[in-house]
A and B are shown apart, each in its own frame.
Chain A
């Protein structure tokens, strides 16, 4: 089955799968040499790593990126110009209030569908799309229900699997985190595969992640599809669920991110927030002090660079200090 790689939660996995293609949620393993060089010049290490991954070859026929940050926009151009990998740049409006913006996103999904067809995809009929949507919806609901029985890393990795083909995403075996860990939220942008280590380090230091609000986590999972909308127009239901409901820093204005966060932090009795960002990611970085003023909870700033794999003590020390503070 032809694989389509993608690196943004605003690309609906259901849309890829419904075209008979294998979705591949791109998680570059780690920031490589190119990313380090890029970071030194002011480029987000994650975007640099996506370029590195595309240059070295990904196991997919094409790559889909989105315009939710300028780093990925430029990354897309760089990958396209190298000719190594066909790339599709999906326009995701930053504004969300207007019917025009919603229509633009829907039109972009249609354009993406035509791109899939060029890469071997078959346009789904409404019933097929609805079936795939409901299957993913059930899988995500099951994952969210099981969240308390999973370690943070398990949750993050399973969430990543559920952004791929469902057939190969077996449910995780429960591996409950220590019940006495301090309940924490992790908020921020995307993670490299190597960065998932930080969930373990955080847990070992005494934390318990009850809300994974990183780009690959719960924050960006579309909530239950409206069955009536699915029946009437599944593609519109899909577009609405993704475009209207995912709170993110890039939205203008981005008040919905704080509204969502406020609800979830209270519901889960979170005691501290780990704010995870890449250096040179302006969109998230700019939210740090605002978050600190907005919330009464302590916030740990965890800035990640291209060289962090080589400096695990830095992260560990911060976690320990943060948890000592919360103890």
Chain B
């Protein structure tokens, strides 16, 4: 059996899976050939290419078995919390209580892609007036209505305030259909005035102390609701332990990102890295398994880096990628065109930073929530992107716009301008719909042109 790292198709994975099983591969309960997910409706998998490591297989199987796991959780009497929009804060609190599990209804935004639109999610959203002028996360509305993709949680939370109007409007529509939501406010993070006490936030941002106190009070409301729902108090001790476990995930991801984005040749494809990063915000409803999955992936990357082997050519152009793509296939496309991802800002970089462990837990969580790149000014977000581009040594930048997402329309230009002004690297912004097949030649041309430009600058 050839264990050389490479990217393979779904069919190749199924053959390889059989070989690995024959060779004694030990899989978790959710393991199995990836092809079964395609047979069950995730047909987009047939058009993707994957890393060929058992660690990647486990990662994909973990992600794609989330619906089963949620149903299993509920059947076993675990209480479910749907944590919408906040990208990393409430799930940490939820997992601090042993009989609760959080999930991320927003994740439904990838279902139209994974099922290549063979789903009624968008039709349902249309029928409720949420048409394609909204972000693809409108699929979530359909998922609440058809109840085919996740069991209804007993508690739904959603952060509002300095969030996206798209999401806020869609969540309001969810509530108006009879799904009560516990709204909590995340205010626009502003610069402290001259005489105001200042608090340092993760990620290098600052905020006035009053704003941190406000968010802390909001999170206290969440804490009380979670305790009521769980039937047991959510103590500081439990929260501190929960933060420690979340930091374990963040620490593994930090190491993984450092290695995957800096080593040459590239040890792990962009697509698997995207999936791995997403685990930081929702833990795929099983925190312990998240740790195990990511640790195995990290170990594989460490092995490859030590062996000096990877999945892409040594001269692949180092690209920093901003915003997650609605069509996962586009991450493959960049690599097919001769690029590699060497840094990302998928809208939740605050969920990758360690949560301060030396503070009272609610204070630490409040600071983390306020460090969300989306709640501050575009200048803050751009500043962090520029710093990370420097840190990872990117040669080019791709800003991927999400169709209908209102922030993208404003931010793409602002990020582009800042990068041009502060860094001498080429950039493009592209719009990636849920299924970008029709745009593929255009996207490939643009990506190739970007990579050619970056290569020319090497000389």
Partner of A289, one of B129, B162, B408, B413: B129
How many Å lie between the Cα of A281 and that of B404 in the bound state? 10
Task: Report yes or no: A94 in contact with B190, Cβ–Cβ below 8 A.
Answer: no
User: Which residues of B146-170 have CB atoms within 8 Å of chain A's CB atoms?
Assistant: 158, 160-166, 168-170
Task: Given A69-B165, A71-B406, A107-B210, answer yes or no on A95-B185 (Cβ-Cβ < 8 Å).
Answer: yes
Task: Report yes or no: B173 in contact with A252, Cβ–Cβ below 8 A.
Answer: no
| Residue B411 at the chain A interface, CB threshold 8 Å | yes
How many Å lie between the Cα of A166 and that of B176 in the bound state? 40
Interface string of B332-351 (1 = CB under 8 A from A): 00000000000000000000
User: Which residues of A27-42 have CB atoms within 8 Å of chain B's CB atoms?
Assistant: 38, 41-42
How many Å lie between the Cα of A252 and that of B413 in the bound state? 30
CB distance from A107 to the nearest CB of B (A): 7
Task: Report yes or no: A94 in contact with B218, Cβ–Cβ below 8 A.
Answer: no
Task: Report yes or no: A91 in contact with B133, Cβ–Cβ below 8 A.
Answer: no
Task: Given A81-B379, A290-B129, answer yes or no on A104-B406 (Cβ-Cβ < 8 Å).
Answer: no
Residue of B nearest to A301 (CB): B129
Task: Report yes or no: A253 in contact with B183, Cβ–Cβ below 8 A.
Answer: yes
How many Å lie between the Cα of A252 and that of B174 in the bound state? 12
Task: Given A70-B406, A89-B188, A253-B181, answer yes or no on A77-B160 (Cβ-Cβ < 8 Å).
Answer: no
| Residue A261 at the chain B interface, CB threshold 8 Å | no
Task: Given A43-B409, A94-B161, answer yes or no on A253-B175 (Cβ-Cβ < 8 Å).
Answer: yes
| Residue A250 at the chain B interface, CB threshold 8 Å | yes
User: Which residues of A49-104 have CB atoms within 8 Å of chain B's CB atoms?
Assistant: 67, 69-71, 73-75, 77-78, 80-81, 89, 91, 93-95, 98, 100-101, 104
| Residue A285 at the chain B interface, CB threshold 8 Å | yes
User: Which residues of B162-198 have CB atoms within 8 Å of chain A's CB atoms?
Assistant: 162-166, 168-173, 175-176, 181, 183-185, 187-188, 190, 193
A107 contact set on B, CB distance < 8 A: 210
Partner of A78, one of B133, B173, B188, B414: B414
How many Å lie between the Cα of A261 and that of B163 in the bound state? 26
How many Å lie between the Cα of A64 and that of B367 in the bound state? 27
| Residue B407 at the chain A interface, CB threshold 8 Å | yes
| Residue A314 at the chain B interface, CB threshold 8 Å | no
Task: Report yes or no: A283 in contact with B169, Cβ–Cβ below 8 A.
Answer: yes
Interface string of B92-135 (1 = CB under 8 A from A): 00000000000000000000000000000000000111100110
B30 contact set on A, CB distance < 8 A: none
Highest count of chain B CB atoms <10 Å: which of A41, A70, A71 = A70
B164 contact set on A, CB distance < 8 A: 70
| Residue A279 at the chain B interface, CB threshold 8 Å | yes
| Residue A232 at the chain B interface, CB threshold 8 Å | no
| Residue A114 at the chain B interface, CB threshold 8 Å | yes
Partner of A94, one of B128, B160, B173, B175: B160
Query: How many residues of chain A are within 8 Å of chain B by beta carbon?
Result: 44
Task: Report yes or no: B161 in contact with A100, Cβ–Cβ below 8 A.
Answer: no
How many Å lie between the Cα of A104 and that of B221 in the bound state? 16
B217 contact set on A, CB distance < 8 A: 98, 100
How many Å lie between the Cα of A287 and that of B221 in the bound state? 27
| Residue A282 at the chain B interface, CB threshold 8 Å | yes
Partner of A286, one of B129, B161, B403, B410: B129
How many Å lie between the Cα of A155 and that of B418 in the bound state? 44
B187 contact set on A, CB distance < 8 A: 67, 91, 93, 104
A245 contact set on B, CB distance < 8 A: none
CB distance from A311 to the nearest CB of B (A): 19
Task: Report yes or no: B409 in contact with A94, Cβ–Cβ below 8 A.
Answer: no
A44 contact set on B, CB distance < 8 A: 406
Residue of B nearest to A103 (CB): B214
How many Å lie between the Cα of A309 and that of B168 in the bound state? 30
B173 contact set on A, CB distance < 8 A: 286, 290
Task: Report yes or no: A78 in contact with B410, Cβ–Cβ below 8 A.
Answer: yes
Residue of B nearest to A44 (CB): B406
Task: Report yes or no: A252 in contact with B168, Cβ–Cβ below 8 A.
Answer: yes
Task: Report yes or no: A95 in contact with B161, Cβ–Cβ below 8 A.
Answer: yes
A15 contact set on B, CB distance < 8 A: none
B406 contact set on A, CB distance < 8 A: 42-44, 70-71, 74, 280, 282
| Residue B393 at the chain A interface, CB threshold 8 Å | no
CB distance from B402 to the nearest CB of A (A): 10
Task: Report yes or no: B409 in contact with A38, Cβ–Cβ below 8 A.
Answer: yes
| Residue A111 at the chain B interface, CB threshold 8 Å | yes
Partner of A71, one of B165, B171, B185, B379: B165
| Residue B377 at the chain A interface, CB threshold 8 Å | yes
User: Which residues of B213-229 have CB atoms within 8 Å of chain A's CB atoms?
Assistant: 214, 217-218, 221
| Residue A254 at the chain B interface, CB threshold 8 Å | yes
Task: Report yes or no: B134 in contact with A93, Cβ–Cβ below 8 A.
Answer: no
| Residue A288 at the chain B interface, CB threshold 8 Å | yes
Task: Report yes or no: A74 in contact with B133, Cβ–Cβ below 8 A.
Answer: no
How many Å lie between the Cα of A122 and that of B407 in the bound state? 37
Residue of B nearest to A255 (CB): B176
B411 contact set on A, CB distance < 8 A: 74
Partner of B214, one of A73, A94, A100: A100
Residue of A nearest to B404 (CB): A42
How many Å lie between the Cα of A250 and that of B166 in the bound state? 11
Task: Given A253-B181, A290-B129, answer yes or no on A70-B379 (Cβ-Cβ < 8 Å).
Answer: no
Task: Report yes or no: A77 in contact with B214, Cβ–Cβ below 8 A.
Answer: no
How many Å lie between the Cα of A43 and that of B165 in the bound state? 12
How many Å lie between the Cα of A230 and that of B296 in the bound state? 65
A41 contact set on B, CB distance < 8 A: 409, 412-413
CB distance from A181 to the nearest CB of B (A): 29
Task: Report yes or no: A77 in contact with B165, Cβ–Cβ below 8 A.
Answer: no
Residue of A nearest to B171 (CB): A252
A71 contact set on B, CB distance < 8 A: 165, 406, 410
| Residue B378 at the chain A interface, CB threshold 8 Å | yes
Task: Report yes or no: B409 in contact with A42, Cβ–Cβ below 8 A.
Answer: yes
Task: Report yes or no: A93 in contact with B161, Cβ–Cβ below 8 A.
Answer: yes
11 contacts between A and B (CB under 8 A): A38-B409, A67-B187, A74-B406, A77-B377, A77-B378, A89-B188, A100-B214, A100-B218, A250-B165, A253-B175, A289-B127
Task: Return the 8 tightest CB-CB contacts between A and B, nearest first.
Answer: A289-B129, A286-B169, A42-B409, A74-B410, A282-B165, A94-B160, A252-B183, A41-B409
12 further contact pairs, Cβ within 8 A, besides A95-B184, A282-B406: A41-B412, A42-B406, A42-B409, A67-B187, A74-B407, A77-B378, A81-B379, A95-B185, A104-B185, A253-B172, A281-B165, A286-B173
